[in-house]
A and B are shown apart, each in its own frame.
Chain A
Amino acid sequence: MLDLFKLRIRHGKQAIPNIRKAEVLETFKGFPIIDESKCADKCKDCKDVCPTEAIEVNPLRLDLGKCIFCGECEKVCSSGAIKFTNQYQLGSTNRNSLIISSGKTFEQFEEEAVDAKKEIHKYFGRSLKLRQVSAGGCNGCELELAATTNVNFDMGRFGIDFVASPRHADGIVITGPISANMAPALKDAYESISDPKIVIAVGVCSISGGLFANSNHVNRNFFDEIPVDLFVPGCPPHPLTFIHALLDYIGK
């Protein structure tokens, strides 16, 4: 019994008090700042080193929907044209705004990234229940999504929760590149959710296929038919990235 009290006291308060103001460590790789004016002539080392073809040169652009935040491009660039900051607020409702071009500041990105619609706020602002489906995910995104509900992040305080049945859900959260073997089950789960429903793609695999974009065992037809409402970049995205994206999206 005494130990139990000791444990409780040592445990203390773990919840991050103000999620909106939470900061992550300096070492975390988040929003990249790109400065093409620093580029040496015809150098495309960053493009060559990138494992997921996230970088285009002339003009220099970096696609957060493809980037796995490995930092190799930053390391290989001697002139510092690409610098990752620790800004983790990377969610976006618009696929194109994930493509970061030279000179874009984090503030500009944040301004336009998430389009918070009134009706979304009306329907889901107070309670949002989500069904998660991993379709070839490696368990990285899955672990971070599970962490959003733990004692530290405690996403439940905003009325956002993961539920077991798609019938109870207002939306689907997809992780993984969509392995061919999971494609039918994913479709079933999506169809089992009643309208109106939202689709959230979490992690680079889900957004673009990531490292598995060219695999013969991946089938991404799902996304040809069904539009994504919210993209959450990362490999895996930090729990705060997910929570922020959702709060922005439902207008909280």
Chain B
Amino acid sequence: MIWTEIKNLQSVSLKEIPNLEFHKLREQIVEMISKGCRLIQFFGEKINSGVILYVVLADDEQSKLFIASSNFNDGDSFDSITPEFKSFHLFEREFYEQFGIKPQGHPWLKPVRKGIAGISKEEIPYEFFKMIGEEVHEVGVGPIHAGIIEPGHFRFSCHGEQIHHLEIELGFQHRGIEELFIRNKNNPVYLLKLSESIAGDTVVGHAGTFARAIESLSENNISRRAMVIRTIALELERIGIHLGDLSALSGDVAYLTGNAAFGALRTKVINTTLAICGSRFGHGMIAVGGVNYDISSELKEKILDTINKLEEDVEIAAEVLFSSASVLARFEKTGIITNEIAKEIGMVGPAARASGVAIDIRSDHPFGGFSLFPVHKLTLKSGDVFARAYIRYIEITQSIKIIKEQLETFSEGELKKTSSELKPNHFVISLAEGWRGEISHTAITDENGRLRKYKIKDPSFNNWLAVALSVKNNGVSDFPLCNKSFNLSYSGFDL
């Protein structure tokens, strides 16, 4: 086999990453994906005379990752993999947008974060697909939406009330985060804070993923206590968002009891995070080398108390929500993503699991506290709004169990270990299961042990296409509901 096999968070020397001509790499990719591997990363790095492409695939069942690379000269092109495997479509588009190396035969080379009309004179605005015919109309929404949410443009081609096609244009939130990681590589606090701001609803998720990448590159084995605290913070983040989304989903179908009840429960959860670290969203929780805040035995009791009560409250609220006929009428059979489509386009996270795709990094490629306690993968089959809502509920219950389990084994240990220098010329991929799904950060160091490349993938990158596909043949009025059932990140996608 030509691939280098690694595990999540296992750093390798750049020398150990095989480099082959693209057509050979392509054959290998096709073979591996046909055997059931999954695409994790496909990104480029600019070097003097061209670009290096890194590809990372996963064998989830075996908890293995495979990496290989290929070199391109400026202006080269390559045979697109998308016609065979659709999960490559966005990765190839991003690669083309960033380096100008064209995937020949790509069916839809739409800009990823550029091409927004009127922003830059040199950019040609992207032409949306058009539906032509009598009684056909277009609805354009955004970038600014009705509520207090991030911006993105949605264009619906409709026939009457029915959506035939939805195109989503993102990129409005682009802040150049990956560039900033490299530009400020000498300021560790800045980098950590930057990772917290990749997506402000996934602070612990992204900061933890960043910290573990750096810890792997500096061989810093954090204490078990710190690991447990991180796990608790991550699961609190998951519970908080899931509750918030159940509240919002209730609101979207005008079910105000659910809206109020889940909303109030969410407040209790994020205030627990506040009690630990001073921020409702977990800012400051994670440190490179461990955590910044301890959980005292008094606080431990408080947390247990809160989540025990929460467990009962959530059960009642969920019982009420999911047995209400008017709610079910809107949730069921709305915005269906079939299992085939979910796999084909490479979906991740609870949205994928709601369509029966059993992937969960916590159990497939365990990290931190999850290497101590295995997590059972939860899936549903129907792939509709109902499934994407219901899976939130069962995941909340599961996360409560995880927190209890981890708190029970709480041992003494150092909160934070100082990190030494990063290993020079190394590559590491750090995967984690945030509340939205698979987060992946890849770090590459130069000969002085400084960051040379930092690649981020929020789960939203995998899942945005699913939003567009889910609304096909649904009514326009069901769009907010479908969209919220995924609740994807704009800033995490736009970077």
Residues of B within 8 A of A179 (CB): 172-175, 494
A27 and B275 form a contact (CB under 8 A): yes
Residue of A nearest to B244 (CB): A143
The stretch from A34-42, A58-66, A67-75, A223-231 touching chain B is: A67-75
A-B contact pairs, 12 of them (CB 8 A): A3-B316, A25-B274, A25-B278, A50-B189, A51-B193, A70-B189, A134-B149, A137-B173, A138-B199, A185-B151, A211-B180, A217-B174
Q: In the complex the two chains form, what is the Cα distance from A181 to B198 in whole Å? A: 17
Docked-complex contact A4 and B173, CB < 8 angstroms: no
Q: Which of A218-240 contact B (CB under 8 A)?
A: 218, 235-236, 238
Q: Tell me if B171 and A181 are in contact (CB < 8 A).
A: yes
- Indicate with 1 or 0, residue by residue over B131-174, a CB within 8 angstroms of chain A CB atoms: 00000000000011011111100000000000000000001111
Q: Which residues from chain A contact B173 at a C-beta distance below 8 Å?
A: 134, 136-137, 176, 179, 181-182
User: B150 touching A51 by the CB < 8 A rule?
Assistant: no
A26 CA to B317 CA in the complex, in Å?
Answer: 31
Q: What's the minimum C-beta distance from A147 to chain B, rounded to whole angstroms?
A: 8
Of residues 65 through 109 on chain A, the ones whose CB sits less than 8 Å from some CB of chain B are 68-72, 75
In the bound complex, CA of A105 to CA of B197 (Å): 30
B316 touches A212 (CB 8 A): no
Is the CB–CB distance between B264 and A11 below 8 Å? yes
A49 in contact (CB, < 8 A): yes
How many residues of chain B have a CB within 8 Å of chain A?
62
- Once A27-B276, A238-B280 are accepted as A-B contacts, the answer to whether A164 and B147 lie under 8 Å apart by CB is yes
Give chain B residues whose Cβ lies under 8 Å from the Cβ of A72.
189
**Would you call A11 and B260 a contact (CB within 8 A)?**
yes
Q: Is the CB of A7 within 8 A of B174?
A: no
Give Cα A139–Cα B260 distance, bound, in whole angstroms.
Answer: 21
Is residue A29 contacting chain B, with contact meaning CB distance below 8 A?
yes
B180 to A70, Cβ gap below 8 A?
Answer: no
Cross-chain contact B281 with A140 (CB below 8 angstroms): yes
CB distance from A222 to the nearest CB of B (A): 14
Residue on B nearest A50 in the bound complex, by CB: B189
Q: Evaluate whether A145 and B172 lie within 8 angstroms (CB atoms) in the complex, with A8-B257, A14-B260, A29-B278 already known.
A: no
Nearest CB of B to A178, in Å: 10
* A118, B284: Cα distance in complex, Å: 40
CB pair A137–B150 under 8 Å, yes or no, is yes
- Give bound CA distance, A68 to B192, whole Å: 12
The residues of B that contact A210 with a CB separation of less than 8 Å are 197
Contacts of A71 in B (CB 8 A): 278, 284, 292
Contact of A137 among B200, B278, B279, B316 (CB under 8 A): B200
Complex: A151 Cα to B257 Cα, angstroms: 11
Docked Cα-Cα span, A238 to B144, in Å, equals 23
CA distance A69 to B183 in the complex (A): 22
Find chain A residues with CB under 8 A from B260 CB.
11, 14, 151
Taking a contact as CB atoms closer than 8 A, the residue among B143, B149, B278, B284 that contacts A142 in the complex is B149
Q: Nearest 4 pairs between A and B by C-beta?
A: A140-B200, A138-B200, A164-B146, A217-B176
- Binary contact track A146-170/B, C-beta < 8 Å → 1, others 0: 1100111000000000101000000
- Does any Cβ of B come within 8 Å of A171's Cβ? no
Residues of chain A within 8 A (CB-CB) of B274 are: 24-25, 27-28
CB-based nearest B residue for A133? B144
Closest B residue to A8 using CB positions:
B257
In the complex, which of the residues B172, B201, B275 contacts A140, with contact meaning CB atoms closer than 8 Å?
B201
Most interface-central of A137, A138, A143 (chain B CB within 10 A): A138
Report B271-299 residues with CB < 8 Å from chain A CB: 271, 274-281, 283-284, 292
CA separation between A10 and B274, bound complex, in Å?
A: 23
Which chain A positions have C-beta within 8 A of B200?
137-143, 236
| B261 interface residue per 8 A CB criterion | yes
Partner of A70, one of B183, B263, B283, B489: B283
Q: Is residue A116 within 8 Å, beta carbon to beta carbon, of the partner chain?
A: no
Shortest CB-to-CB span from A120 to chain B, Å, is 23
Of residues 172 to 207 in B, which have CB atoms within 8 Å of A's CB atoms?
172-176, 179-180, 183, 187, 189-190, 193-194, 197-201, 203
A21: CB under 8 A from chain B? Answer: no
Q: Is the CB of A215 within 8 A of B283?
A: no
**Candidate in B116, B118, B148, B281 with the most chain A CB atoms within 10 angstroms:** B148
Which residues from chain A contact B180 at a C-beta distance below 8 Å?
211-212, 214-215
| A208 at interface, CB cutoff 8 A | no
Contacts of B2 in A (CB 8 A): none
B270 to A: closest C-beta gap in Å: 9
Q: B267 within 8 Å of A by Cβ?
A: yes
Contact partner of A211 (CB less than 8 A), chosen from B190, B261, B279, B292, is: B190
Q: How far is the CA of A214 from the CA of B274 in the complex (A)?
A: 30
Chain A residues in 8 Å Cβ range of B278: 25, 27-29, 69, 71
Q: How far is the CA of A144 from the CA of B316 in the complex (A)?
A: 26
Interfacial chain A residues near B276, Cβ < 8 Å: 27
B150–A25 contact, CB under 8 A?
no
Q: In the complex, which residues of chain B have a beta carbon less than 8 angstroms from the beta carbon of A10?
A: 313, 316
Check B127 for interface membership: any CB of A closer than 8 A.
Answer: no
Taking A51-B194, A142-B149 as known contacts, 17 extra A-B pairs with beta carbons closer than 8 A to each other, sorted by chain A number, are A3-B316, A10-B313, A25-B275, A25-B278, A27-B276, A29-B279, A51-B190, A70-B283, A134-B173, A136-B174, A139-B149, A140-B203, A142-B150, A142-B200, A152-B267, A182-B143, A212-B180
A182 and B151 form a contact (CB under 8 A): yes
For residue A32, CB closer than 8 A to chain B, the reply is no
Tell me how far the C-beta of B166 lies from the nearest C-beta in chain A, rounded to whole angstroms: 20
CB distance from A219 to the nearest CB of B (A): 9
Residues of A within 8 A of B271 (CB): 25
Check B320 for interface membership: any CB of A closer than 8 A: yes
CB distance from A72 to the nearest CB of B (A): 5
User: Does the CB pair B320–A7 fall under 8 Å?
Assistant: yes
In the bound complex, residues from chain B placing their C-beta under 8 Å from that of A151 are 260, 263-264
Q: Which residues of A contact B120 (CB under 8 A)?
A: 180
